[in-house]
């Protein structure tokens, strides 16, 4: 299946990543469940929303790892768990060989220096009462106690790094465009020289032309500083050209994972195939693969494979009674795994 393409890749450098043996970050059995009131069954009825349910990931230093899936699949919750912005219900996260799952107090604050995030909406990510100088300088003041001329020099250097004029330093967010605000957010995330940056749909709120500029900036920064990215997006074309590996999530679980070219050119899971078939194309458009029904509620997971209620290929009894695990399909590329009984039969 041909992957969707856009005009952006012509200006994108090749990926610089040579994946090392030891991962920078690993997640094992990562889960996040929420207890919520079920109004349909009475005031005292409770149900459990399994936002993330048993996710295993290995992120290598210097790579860009993509996470894709529909809204509600658990992408952003996974990112928050990896960054310790929320505590897991179960599972462990190791960063640079250290179990960070139970860190509290000073060790957790120290961890914040090495893990940063750029949020989806730059308009709400910045405090409208703070100047751009204050926004970028805040991590340096809080974590390093920096002030005076040293702080001014560092903030100006960060603004130069993301191609923002230094004359913007004492402007307020409402005086900047969406793309300029996102550059401020990127500069703030880089202030403490992190090892890993989570990019939670950083271009979805921007115009297409501005998206291309931000993506080019992110790739340039990655190459200059040997940054590691976790890139969350709905845009499959962006993931194809920015990421080295990709995980496809559905209802809190990873259903397919592998090198981005292998997953996009030879998708194995029916859900991945449907996502790629539905992506818009400029040439050679084919009718999309329409998914049956609606995505189930995370509070009432279907038995067996989470996707079987919408799968056009579901035919084995195990699809409706057992939960498939990630395994390598026959003839798949190295590292390409899929959670589907039909591909493992």
Same domain, 109 and 162: no
Asked whether residue 300 falls in the same domain as residue 203, the answer is yes
Pairing mode, strands 46-59 and 228-232: unpaired
Using alpha carbons, select from 105, 56, 36 the residue that is nearest to residue 254.
56
Looking at residue 290, its pLDDT comes to 67
Quick one: 172 and 213 in the same domain? no
Whether residue 45 sits in one domain with residue 189: no
Which of 129, 160, 193 terminates a domain? The answer is: 193
The mean pLDDT of 142-171, rounded to a whole number, is 95
Question: What pLDDT shows up at residue 244?
Answer: 96
The reply to whether 274 falls in a domain is yes
The full length of the chain comes to 345
Domain end point (choices 158, 193, 228): 193
In a shared domain, residues 36 and 128? no
Q: List Cβ neighbours of 263 (8 Å cut-off, separation of 6 or more).
A: 246, 248, 256, 257, 272, 336
- Supply the range of the domain harboring residue 159: 120-193
Do 162 and 218 form a contact (C-beta atoms < 8 A)?
Answer: no
Residue 18, in any domain of the structure: no
What lies within 8 Å, CB to CB, of 149 at 6+ separation is none
Examine the domain organization and report whether 200 and 181 are in the same domain.
no
CA–CA separation, 78 and 276 (whole Å): 22
Listed in sequence order, the residues at least 6 apart from 296 whose beta carbon sits closer than 8 Å to its beta carbon are: 251, 302, 306, 309
The string over 100-127, giving b where at least 16 C-beta atoms fall within 10 Å of a residue's C-beta and e elsewhere, is bbebeeeeeeebbebbbbbbbbbeebbe
Reported as a pLDDT band with limits 50, 70 and 90, residue 230 is: very high
The partner residues of 31 in beta bridges, in order of sequence, read: 53, 90
Q: Is residue 81 included in any domain, yes or no?
A: yes
pLDDT for residue 345 is more than 80: no
pLDDT at position 207 = 86
Are 42 and 102 members of one domain?
Answer: yes
Mean pLDDT in residue range 199-220: 90
User: Do the beta carbons of residue 205 and residue 121 sit within 8 Å?
Assistant: yes
Flag whether 132 is in a domain. Answer: yes
Let me know if residue 338 belongs to a domain. yes
Residues 189 and 236 in one domain: no
Identify whether 28 is part of a domain.
yes
Q: Indicate whether 113 pLDDT > 60.
A: yes
pLDDT of residue 234: 87
Looking at the fold, whether 106 and 148 belong to one and the same domain comes out as: no
Per-chain mean pLDDT for the chain: 88
Provide the whole-model pTM: 0.88
- In angstroms, the CA 163 to CA 22 distance is 34
Structure confidence at residue 11 (pLDDT)? 36
- 2 occurs within a structural domain: no
Is residue 253 located within the same domain as residue 136?
no
Percent of the chain with pLDDT over 70: 88
With cut-offs at 50, 70 and 90, classify the pLDDT of residue 42. low
Q: What is the predicted pLDDT for the residue at 296?
A: 86
What is the DSSP-derived secondary structure letter of residue 287?
-
Q: Count up the domains in the chain and report the number.
A: 2
Question: The domain spanning residue 58 has which CATH number?
Answer: 3.40.50.300
Q: Which of 193, 216, 231 is the last residue of a domain?
A: 193
Question: Both 71 and 134 in a single domain?
Answer: no
Structural tokens at position 288: 């999309």
Q: Given this model, what pLDDT does residue 41 score?
A: 59
Q: Residue 39 above 90 pLDDT? A: no
Cα–Cα dist 14/72, whole Å? 32
Low-confidence winner among 47-51, 85-89, 123-127, 183-187 (lowest mean pLDDT):
47-51
Report the Cα–Cα distance between both ends of the chain, in Å, rounded. 22
Q: Which of 57, 66, 85, 64 is nearest to 3 (CA)?
A: 66
Residues 208 and 250 in one domain: yes
Is 1 part of any domain? no
- Determine the 3-state secondary structure of 21 from DSSP: coil
């Amino acid at each position: 299946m041909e992957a969707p393409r856009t005009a952006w890749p012509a200006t994108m450098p090749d990926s610089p990543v040579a994946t090392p043996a030891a991962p920078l970050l690993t997640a094992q059995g990562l889960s996040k469940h929420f207890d919520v009131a079920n109004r349909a069954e009475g005031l005292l009825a409770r149900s459990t929303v399994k936002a993330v349910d048993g996710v295993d990931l290995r992120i290598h230093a210097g790579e860009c790892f993509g996470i894709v899936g529909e809204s509600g699949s658990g992408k952003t919750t996974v990112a928050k768990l990896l960054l310790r912005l929320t505590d897991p219900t179960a599972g462990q996260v190791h960063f640079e060989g250290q179990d960070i799952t139970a860190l509290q107090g000073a060790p957790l604050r120290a961890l914040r220096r090495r893990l940063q995030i750029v949020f989806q909406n730059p308009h709400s990510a910045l405090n409208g009462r703070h100047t751009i100088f204050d926004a970028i300088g805040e991590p340096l003041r809080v974590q390093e106690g920096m002030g005076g001329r040293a702080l001014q020099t560092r903030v100006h250097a960060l603004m130069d790094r993301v191609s923002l004029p230094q004359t913007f330093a004492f402007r307020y967010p409402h005086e900047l465009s969406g793309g300029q605000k996102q550059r401020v957010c990127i500069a703030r995330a880089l202030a403490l020289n992190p090892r890993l940056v989570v990019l939670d749909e950083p271009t979805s709120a921007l115009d297409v032309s501005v998206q291309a500029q931000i993506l080019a900036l992110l790739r340039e920064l990655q190459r200059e500083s040997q940054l590691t990215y976790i890139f969350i997006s709905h845009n499959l074309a962006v993931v194809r050209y920015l990421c080295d590996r990709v995980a496809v999530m559905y209802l809190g679980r990873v259903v397919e994972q592998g090198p981005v070219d292998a997953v996009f050119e030879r998708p194995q899971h029916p859900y991945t195939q449907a996502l790629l078939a539905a992506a818009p194309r400029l040439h050679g458009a084919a009718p999309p693969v329409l998914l049956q029904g609606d995505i189930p509620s995370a509070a009432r997971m279907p038995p067996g494979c989470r996707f079987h209620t919408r799968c056009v290929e579901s035919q084995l009894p195990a699809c409706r009674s057992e939960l498939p695990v990630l395994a390598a399909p026959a003839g798949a590329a190295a590292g390409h795994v899929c959670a589907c009984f039909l591909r493992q039969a």
